[in-house]
């Protein structure tokens, strides 16, 4: 069994970004293209060994190299997106970004035949069969395994901020769900997802991983799909909260905030600060508000002394961490609102085209 080790946790503040996208045809509909793009052709150099497919043949994932700082991460993110678009267009495909594609109907889409995914379908059944979701994952390097576990615990209260700002999936399987991020709720139908409980130590987390593998609950560590986790292979805190995005500026803001949050929590850990360890039910309540209401979300305050609006929380985080990207996003039209506006005003074809990535 591949056991988690503390050894990978040896660098602080590095960044890695994983993005999931839809492969689309000329009309903007999701189409099976990952066999060709991932296995049958050679991608641009920056995507070599960093391009993968997901459960459905219409979903493709990119991974950036490890970046030393925010500036490098921003530049690399744009380069990776451009390379993916060039690669796809060279083979007759387009690329779209959203947490759920409004034209994706899971019963009509092809599943990948890779043994890993066939095994997941056999074990998880219905909820994996319908999992047409795409998201953004941000990895921030941490130089100590115990520190990373504490950061993952403490970051949980802040994750609904990212979900509310990223909410970009009102439509699923052809209908309006009434949610701002239906992706988050669809994905929670899988096992080992959602807001995790707190772990007292890195050893406790590793023991949890090993227990699930030993008893066949998961095939490997990669099947722990929680909103945040200490990544025992990469030596990072991985934040998996945001919806997939069309606009790279959104992803850049998420990366800026995730990096600032992790670095700040690392400093608090080093100063001996005790953790909050909020109740699981409180964290789930705030996440529900984020996925339902998006920009209009109101949260139970971190001090558990009342309610606070998303706008107020963002102001606090701007002042506390010195970040600007999430403030700019809050002042823009949300992804969910944009999708609904386009569908109502211009129809489905305009909506599908608006999700297409541009060079």
Q: In tens digits, what is the pLDDT along the chain, a chain of 359 residues? A: 356 789 999 999 999 999 999 999 999 999 999 999 999 999 999 999 999 988 899 999 999 999 999 999 999 999 999 999 999 999 999 999 999 999 999 989 888 888 888 888 888 888 888 999 999 999 999 999 999 999 999 999 999 999 999 999 999 999 999 999 999 999 999 999 999 999 999 999 999 999 999 999 998 898 999 999 999 999 999 999 999 999 999 999 999 999 999 999 999 999 999 988 888 999 999 999 999 999 999 999 988 789 999 999 999 999 999 999 999 999 999 999 999 999 999 999 999 999 999 97
* 359 lies in some domain: no
Cα(213)–Cα(232) distance, integer angstroms: 14
Of 162, 147, 146, 139, which Cα lies nearest the Cα of 265? 147
- Residue 74 tokens read as 């921003």
Of 126, 120, 72, which Cα lies nearest the Cα of 256? 72
* 10 lies in some domain: no
* 221 lies in some domain: yes
User: How many angstroms from the chain centroid is the CA of residue 123?
Assistant: 23
The enclosing domain of 305 has a CATH number of 3.30.590.20
- pTM here is 0.96
Task: Tell me phi and psi for residue 14, to 5 degrees.
Answer: -70, 165
Helix boundaries (H) for 125-247: 126-129, 145-155, 159-166, 182-187, 202-214
Of 336, 329, 300, 353, which Cα lies nearest the Cα of 178? 336
* 308 lies in some domain: yes
* 143 lies in some domain: yes
* 167 lies in some domain: yes
Task: Tell me phi and psi for residue 140, to 5 degrees.
Answer: -120, 125
* 304 lies in some domain: yes
HSE at residue 164, side-chain half, CA atoms within 13 A, is 26
Residue 200: give the domain boundaries: 15-354
* 6 lies in some domain: no
What stretches of the chain adopt beta strand conformation (E)? 15-24, 51-53, 59-63, 94-96, 136-141, 171-172, 175-176, 193-194, 225-226, 228-231, 236-239, 298-300, 307-309
CB of 225 within 8 A of CB of 190? yes
How many structural domains is the chain composed of?
1
């Amino acid at each position: 069994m591949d056991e988690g080790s503390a050894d990978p946790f040896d660098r602080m503040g590095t960044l890695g970004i994983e993005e999931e996208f839809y492969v689309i045809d000329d009309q903007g509909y999701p189409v099976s293209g990952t066999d060709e793009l991932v296995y049958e052709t050679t991608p641009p150099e920056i995507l070599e060994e960093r391009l993968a497919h997901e459960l459905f043949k219409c979903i493709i994932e990119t991974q950036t190299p490890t970046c030393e700082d925010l500036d490098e991460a921003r530049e690399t993110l744009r380069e990776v997106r451009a390379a993916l678009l060039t690669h796809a267009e060279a083979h007759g495909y387009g690329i779209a970004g959203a947490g759920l594609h409004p034209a994706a109907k899971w019963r009509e889409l092809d599943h990948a035949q890779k043994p890993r995914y066939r095994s997941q379908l056999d074990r998880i059944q219905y909820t994996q069969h319908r999992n047409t979701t795409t998201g953004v994952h941000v990895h921030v390097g941490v130089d100590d395994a115990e520190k990373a576990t504490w950061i993952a615990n403490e970051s949980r209260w802040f994750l609904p901020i990212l979900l509310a700002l990223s909410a970009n999936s009102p439509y699923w399987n052809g209908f309006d769900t009434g949610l701002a991020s239906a992706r988050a709720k669809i994905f929670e139908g899988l096992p080992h997802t959602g807001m995790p409980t707190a772990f007292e130590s890195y050893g406790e987390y590793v023991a949890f991983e090993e227990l699930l593998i030993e008893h066949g609950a998961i095939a490997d560590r990669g099947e722990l799909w929680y909103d945040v986790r200490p990544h025992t292979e990469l030596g990072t805190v991985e934040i998996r909260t945001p919806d997939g995005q069309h606009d790279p500026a959104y992803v850049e803001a998420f990366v800026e905030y995730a990096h600032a949050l992790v670095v700040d929590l690392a400093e608090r850990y080093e100063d001996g600060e005790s953790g909050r360890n909020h109740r699981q039910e409180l964290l789930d309540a705030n996440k529900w508000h984020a996925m339902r209401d998006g920009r209009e979300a109101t949260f139970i305050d971190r001090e558990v002394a009342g309610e606070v609006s998303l706008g107020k929380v963002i102001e606090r985080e701007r002042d506390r961490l010195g970040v600007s990207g999430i403030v700019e996003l809050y002042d823009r039209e949300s992804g969910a609102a944009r999708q609904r506006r386009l569908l109502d005003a211009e129809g489905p074809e305009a909506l599908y085209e608006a999700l297409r990535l541009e060079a």
